[in-house]
Structure 1
Amino acid sequence: MRGWSADRVAEAAGARLVTPAARTGAEGPARAVIDSRHAGPGDLFVGLPGERVDGGRFATDVLAAGAWGALVGEDWIPAEAPADGVILVAPDPLAALQRLATAWRRELGAAGCRVIGITGSTGKTSTKDLTAAMVDQQRRVVATPLNLNTEIGLPLTVLGAPSGTEVLVLEMAMRGAGQIAELAHIAEPDVGVIVNVGPVHLELLGTIEAIAATKSELLEGLRPGGTAVVPADEPLLTTHLAALPEGVSTVTFGARGDVRDLPDGLEIGFESAHMCQNALAALAAARAVGVEPTGRLDVALSELRGQRRELAGDIVVIDDCYNANPMSMRAALDDLAASSSGRRVAVLGDMLELGPDEVRFHEEIGGHARAAGVDLLVTVGPLAAAMGPAFGGEVVAVDAAGEVVDALAPRLNAGDTVLVKASRGVGLEVVAQGLAG
């Protein structure tokens, strides 16, 4: 937005400009932020109402600190206009932020930028990271950082893309029906990737069919001439693929898909089956925007998504505790089985939001841990405790994440590989930190 005037920013956001006339022609902001602590020169601070505090109350402070401007609700117009800084006012600052992001996406698109949207029940962050790494070989890329994959985070990512960005790779998360559609409406993707469909958020959506329908909202939001990238032979998507918008093509990936193998010469640095599957999805997306990646990829996975940490005593911790569901738990256990030569230890916590069958899902993971050759299972939380009987081997059960290190450390041996995984609410990130000492 740097090349836009304040007038144009206001018009794009559907906001009212209340800045003195002398500031209306000011060069536009470089990005938008919602945390007043991070609002510096060149930034547009968006004061969003929260459960406890309305961000608009900090508008005067950020302007005094040198921010480019503030977008706030009607109740937070400063009593005295600042000498510097732009003030934009809208009844709904979040809706204004989203409109502004769409306008900027179109500005980038007019210069040739393509947008890739990625969703899935599991693996969407890794697929985003792989896609960005592949496309980055030949295009200027901006990808979703951290977990900015919501109705707030996605527009912030778009608005942080500078002029000249050639590909935007946007992760799209959801917790209920209509949320992916909302993100697609903001981003207007050219390519939509569904990594997979699995039993996630069943507590909210009720059935696996409803989950598939929600993920398919991404495909329904594709621009004319777009590309839908989906797993091959996924029956849950059949009816949704039949209803794709006119002009949208489909590319499948997987053992029986259009994209079945990584080409000779392309190395991703991962050997697990689920990462290879994610790489096929990423390859299909890269090709959809005209990129054929080669060589060895330098892929920096997002934090807490399977990083391998080497500890003293030849102990390896697989830190995969950002989130968990039955599909990702199985994949992580399979990776543990395939990538460890010593004793296998699994620290597995509650998988949340699984609905009325939550106990059965946890029992099944216990059985899968046994089949994967896990030698020691540490369960964390009341739901995870149901894994123990089905596992049938050596089990240590604790109630909370803070108890794991004391219970596990005396049982570890040189050469052990420790998988740490649970839903985000369990807080297992303290385990890898604690074991590292």
Structure 2
Amino acid sequence: VGKTSTKELTAAVLRQRYPTLWTPGNYNNEIGLPLSLLRLTDEHRYVVLEMGFYTEGEIAQLCDIAHPHIGVITNIGPIHLERAGSMEAIFRGKSELIRALPPDGRAILNWDDAWVRKMAEISPAPVFKYGFTPEADLWADAIESYGLAGIRFRFHHRLGDHTETYHVQLPLLGRHSVHTALRAAAVGLIAGLAWEEIIRGLKDVNARLRIDVAPGYNRSTLIDDTYNASPPSTIAALNLLEEMEGRRIAILGDMLELGDEEEKGHRLVGARAAETADILITVGPRAHWIAEEARFQGMPNAAVHEAEDADAAIALAKTLIQPGDFILVKGSRAMRMDVIAAALSVSRRLKTED
């Protein structure tokens, strides 16, 4: 969760000083990563690569190709659990990045994640800790989220026996984006950038982050977060939706590859949807658990709607959306949630009709 946004924001920070190459899109596998490296020239000082994980051994193979010097771990959750087999296997697989680092490299670890903290024990490189806890080397507090207007918080950077503090306001969406900013800032610090350069990079509007906000159907506002979905990322998106001042509609699809955590993960999302959305539309058979849990948590039956597929969800949404509504669309790619977002986006619909 958060790999692509971290890659984009990290590249935005590094290129404030250094010629930087970074992976386009999600070229994060044994085909895309080498293709990215083929674009390296003598002018580049840094390359920022995303490494995807499904099963053990994959990241080790990518490390054999890339020889990483700095490794950033975002978090460890149940996404791809169905393929990996267990949380322990996911931990081992993602740890392959840390094990591949040289002694003069640096491991950047999320100190808010209990699984990630364990990687400090196996890292051959010095560890740089980030998170929301003062135990970290770089941490954030006083976080305020202003919906579509961005976020404000304080950075604290420990330097020996004293700490630097910086107040920032960034054009990032949702409280979960603070972790993304911490990761990018950590890389910038390790690369020797000044805080002025780091903050300028974090404000770079050209960084292509995943959430897209656009004018929506019937004078609504569409929050398109359809790249993929897991319980943590969907709950983070619902937290952003909660900050919107207007009627809130959540269109949530099946989350795939959760293995034994499948029902639990969908029910966690359903409970949060009941707290954050005024209307809930679920898409797909697994998302029935989202709807069922939302009703159980007290969401009125009339506010919970279940659609069999994307086409049914589009038709249903168009009967419900009113001017001024905020619509979140989120779910796994296989559920065609991007089709729903396109159908409910004014700009994309006009392009299609042209």
CA distance in structure 1 between the partners assigned to 2:15 and 2:118 by the alignment? 34
Structure number with greater Rg is: 1
C-alpha spacing 1:224/1:299, structure 2 compared with 1 (3 Å): farther
Match of 2:126 among 249, 255, 258: 249
Which AA in structure 2 matches 1:255?
A: F
Letter in 2 for 1:323: N
Equivalent-residue separation in structure 2 for 1:239 and 1:347 (angstroms): 36
1:407 aligns to 2:316 (yes or no):
yes
State the partner residue of 2:221. Answer: 316
Secondary structure at 1:189's aligned position in 2? coil
Which residue of 238, 245, 249 corresponds with 1:341? Answer: 245
Match of 2:152 in 1: none
Cα deviation for residue 282 of structure 1 reads 1.1
Separation in 2 of the partners of 1:195 and 1:357? 20
* Offset of residue 265 of structure 1: 6.2
Other-structure match for 2:204: 298
Distance 2:260 2:173 in 1: 35
Matched residues in 2 for 1:427 and 1:233: separation?
Answer: 32
Per-residue CA distance 1:132-162 (angstroms, 9 max, x = gap) = 1111111111111011111110011111122
Q: Please say if residues 78 and 261 of structure 2, whose CA atoms lie closer than 8 Å, have aligned partners that are also in contact.
A: no
Q: Contact between 1:268 and 1:298, CA under 8 Å: does it hold in 2?
A: no
Q: Is the contact made by 1:266 and 1:297 (CA closer than 8 Å) also made in structure 2?
A: no
More moved, 252-261 vs 286-295: 286-295
Q: Hey, what's the Cα distance between the residues in 1 that align with 2:175 and 2:88?
A: 25
Which stretch shifts more, 148-157 or 308-317? 308-317
Matched, 1:279 2:279: no
Per the alignment, residue 352 of structure 2 pairs with none
From 14, 24, 29, give the equivalent of 1:135.
Answer: 14
TM-aligned CA distance change 1:242 to 1:283, over 3 Å: same
Q: 2:19 touches 2:43 (CA, 8 Å); kept in 1?
A: yes
Offset of residue 351 of structure 1? 0.4
- Comparing 390-399 and 341-350, the one that deviates more: 390-399
For residues 113 and 341 of structure 2, what CA distance do their matches in structure 1 show? Answer: 35
Q: 2:73 matched to which residue of 1?
A: 194
Residue type of the alignment partner of 1:345 = I
CA deviations over 1:345-380 (Å, ceiling 9, x no partner)? 111000001113312221221111112x20111101
Cα 1:315/1:409, change in 2 over 3 Å: same
Partner of 1:387: 290
Deviations 1:232-269 (CA, angstroms, capped at 9, x unpaired)? 14332344321212xx1111111112111336365431
Q: Is the 8 A contact 1:265 1:294 kept in 2?
A: no
Distance 1:391 1:198 in 2: 22
Cα offset, 1:311, TM superposition: 2.9
The aligned counterpart of 1:429 is: 338
- Report what 1:268 is aligned to: 170
Q: Deviations over 1:383-415 (max 9, x none)?
A: 011111211231121111122221101211111
Residue of structure 1 equivalent to 2:148: none
Query: Do the aligned residues in 2 keep the contact of 1:405 with 1:434 (CA within 8 Å)?
Result: yes
2-side partners of 1:216 and 1:286: how far apart?
22
Equivalent residue runs for 1:24-423 within 5 Å: 122-245=1-124, 248-256=125-133, 257-261=136-140, 262=155, 264=166, 266-292=168-194, 293-295=198-200, 297-302=203-208, 305-311=210-216, 313-338=218-243, 340-371=244-275, 373-392=276-295, 393=299, 394-423=303-332
Distance 1:300 1:274 in 2: 19
C-alpha change, 1:355 and 1:424, in structure 2 (3 Å) is same
Secondary structure of the residue that 1:171 maps to in structure 2?
Answer: coil
Going from structure 1 to structure 2, the CA distance change for 1:345 and 1:176 (only over 3 Å counts) comes to: same
SS in structure 1 at match of 2:215: strand
For the aligned residues, what is the CA RMSD?
1.7
One-letter amino acid matched to 2:38 = L
SS at match of 1:264: strand
Distance in 2 between the 1:342 and 1:365 partners?
A: 21
* Cα distance change of structure 1 residues 320 and 233 upon mapping to structure 2, 3 Å threshold: closer
Distance 1:169 1:236, change over 3 A: same
User: C-alpha displacement at 1:124, in angstroms?
Assistant: 0.6
Question: Does the 8 Å contact 2:216/2:222 carry over to 1?
Answer: yes
Q: Which runs of 5+ in 1 are unaligned?
A: 1-121
C-alpha contact (below 8 Å) 2:69/2:102 kept by paired residues: yes
Rounded to whole Å, the distance in 2 between the matches of 1:241 and 1:360 is 29
SS at match of 1:418: strand
- The answer as to whether partners of 1:228 and 1:251 remain within 8 angstroms in 2 is yes
**In structure 1, what is the Cα distance between the partners aligned to 2:231 and 2:35?**
31
**How many aligned positions are there?**
311
Aligned letter for 1:272?
A: G
* TM-score (norm: length of structure 2): 0.84
Deviation digits for residues 261-302 of structure 1, max 9, x if unmatched? 336365431141111111101111121122231336224454
Residue in structure 1 matched with residue 159 of structure 2 by the alignment: none
Q: What is the TM-score with the length of structure 1 in the denominator? A: 0.68
Highest relative contact order (Cα 8 Å, sep 6+), 1 or 2?
Answer: 2
Classify the secondary structure of the residue corresponding to 1:386: helix
